[in-house]
Amino acid sequence: MFLSVFDMFKVGIGPSSSHTMGPMVAAARFLDQMRASPFHFAGLRASLHGSLAFTGVGHATDRATILGLAGFTPGDYDADRAEAVLAQINETHKITVDGLPPLRFDPKSDMIFDYDHKLEGHANGMMLMATDGQGDVNLSETFYSIGGGFVMTEAELAAGKDTDEGAPVPFPFKSAAEMLDMAKSSGKSIAQMKRDNEVSRNGEVHLRSGTKRLWQVMNDCINRGLSSEGILPGGLSVKRRAKGIHDALMAERGLNQSAPHTINDWMSVYAMAVNEENAAGGQVVTAPTNGAAGVMPATLRYYLDHVPGAAESHVEDFLLTAAAIGGLVKFNASISGAEAGCQAEVGSAAAMSAAGLCAVMGGTPEQIENAAEIALEHHLGMTCDPVKGLVQVPCIERNGLGAIKAVSAASLALRGDGTHLVPLDACIETMRQTGADMSEKYKETSLGGLAVNVPNC
C-alpha cells in the first residue's frame, strides 16, 4: 500500500474536498472519457445523489461540477476566470472545452439534485452523462467522491481498486503494527520510511519542492485568514472571527497578563483562519479534507511560532509522518464525513497532526503511534451535522479544538514511553465500525444534529 504525501495533501479550493473538489475531479475524468470515445456528443447532463444532493448547494457542488465540465481543475483554479465562464454558461447554455465540440448545458435543467435515489456504492454519488443531437444519453459514468478529493468510478469501487498501481515501495506498511515492526527492524523513523517510499516513486527533488510548496500554501492560507474580515458566503451570516482574535492576541503579547490557557486561543485562531478561508472558497491544502484543513496548519504553525527550538527544516518530517498515519486511516477506515462522520475528518486530521508534532519533537515511532491513537480515540463517535450544509458551523471552531487535542495528544505521548493499552489499529477499526453504525442523519446530510436544532436555519 502506498499513498503519496501529495495524494494525502492536495492544493485545492474550498469549501469541501468531497463535495467541491471531488466532483470537479470527476468531471475532468469524464471529459477524458468523452475525448477518447468514438461517439459524437452534443450535450451534457449531471445528477447528484445522497449527501452530494442534500448538502450540495451549501458546498457549491453544482458549481464545481459545472466548472469541472468546463475544464477547470482544483490544482490550477482561477477564481476570476471561473466567474466569467459560469456567467457565460448561464447565458448561452453551452459549455466549450478543449478537444470536444460545443456542448449544450442548461444549469437549470441539466444539473439535477436527486434527493430520492442514493447510489449504492457510497454516500457521495454522482452521474455524468453525455448526450447526442437528439438529447439521448450515449455515454454515462457513475462517480463516487470518497473523501479528500479522491474519486472512483462505479467499476473501480466494485473492484476495490486501490489508488496505488506503481512499483513496490521499500516500506509497504498497511497497518500501524506493520509500521512499527518495519521501523524496529530497519532502525528508521516513520518519516524516514515514508521518505524512502516517496523517493523510490517520485525522486528527492520532487519531494523537497512539493513539501515546501504544501507548507507555503498552508501558511499563506493562515495569513490570509488572519487578515480578512467580513461575512462568510452561504446565508448563515457567519462573521469571520480569526482576524479580531489574532489582533487581540497580538496586543496582549508581552504584557504578561495572559492566562496560561491563552495558548489554546493561538492554536484555535490559526485553524479558524484556514477554515474561514475554506468557507469563503479560497485556496487550501486538503489535510486530509477541506472541512478538516485547519488542524494540521494550526499545529504546524503552533510548533514553529511557539515551541522553543522549532525549525522549518523539520516541516517535511512533520508532513511525512502525518501522511503515513493518514494513509493508514484512509486504507483501513475512512477520511470521509459522508461515510463515517466528523470523526473521520477532524478526528483523522488530529491524529495525523499529533503524530507529526510528536515526530518533530523527538518522539520515537512508538510514541508517535501513541500520539495518533490518543488524538483519534477522543474524536470517536463525532458526527457530521453542518448547519445549512455549509462548512462553517460547527466546522470552523471544531478545527481549532482538533488542533488543541492534537497538541495535547502529542504532549501526553511524549511523557510516556510509547506503551499503551489501545493500539492505533484498534482505534482505526473502532472508527470504521462506529461510522458504519452511525445514522445517515449524522453523515454530512444536514438532516440531524446541529443542522436541525439551530433556530432559523
Interface contacts to ligand SF4, rule CB under 6 A: 291-292, 337, 342, 345-346, 384, 386, 391, 394-395, 398, 444
Q: Which is nearer to ligand SF4, 50 or 386 (CB)?
A: 386
Q: Supply the minimum distance, in Å, between the C-beta of residue 398 and ligand SF4.
A: 6
Number of H helices, E strands in the chain: 20, 9
CB-based burial, 345-357: b 16+ in 10 Å, e otherwise: bbbbbbbbbbbbb
Greatest Cα-to-Cα distance within the chain, rounded to the nearest angstrom:
74
Q: Supply the minimum distance, in Å, between the C-beta of residue 291 and ligand SF4.
A: 3
384: β partners: 443
Q: Supply the minimum distance, in Å, between the C-beta of residue 347 and ligand SF4.
A: 9
Is the C-alpha dihedral spanning 233, 239, 244, 245 positive or negative? negative
Q: Supply the minimum distance, in Å, between the C-beta of residue 23 and ligand SF4.
A: 15
Q: Which is nearer to ligand SF4, 68 or 394 (CB)?
A: 394
The rounded distance, in Å, linking the Cα atoms of 320 and 323 is 5
The rounded distance, in Å, linking the Cα atoms of 427 and 270 is 28
Is the C-alpha dihedral spanning 88, 90, 93, 96 positive or negative? positive
Q: Which is nearer to ligand SF4, 149 or 386 (CB)?
A: 386
Q: Which is nearer to ligand SF4, 346 or 361 (CB)?
A: 346
Q: Supply the minimum distance, in Å, between the C-beta of residue 344 and ligand SF4.
A: 7
Alpha-carbon dihedral 277, 282, 287, 292, rounded to 10 degrees: 40
For 26, the grid coordinates are 470527476
Q: Which is nearer to ligand SF4, 282 or 394 (CB)?
A: 394
Q: Which is nearer to ligand SF4, 322 or 359 (CB)?
A: 322
Let me know: does 59 contact 337? Beta carbons within 8 Å: no
- For 306, list phi and psi in degrees, rounded to 5: -125, -15
Q: Supply the minimum distance, in Å, between the C-beta of residue 292 and ligand SF4.
A: 5
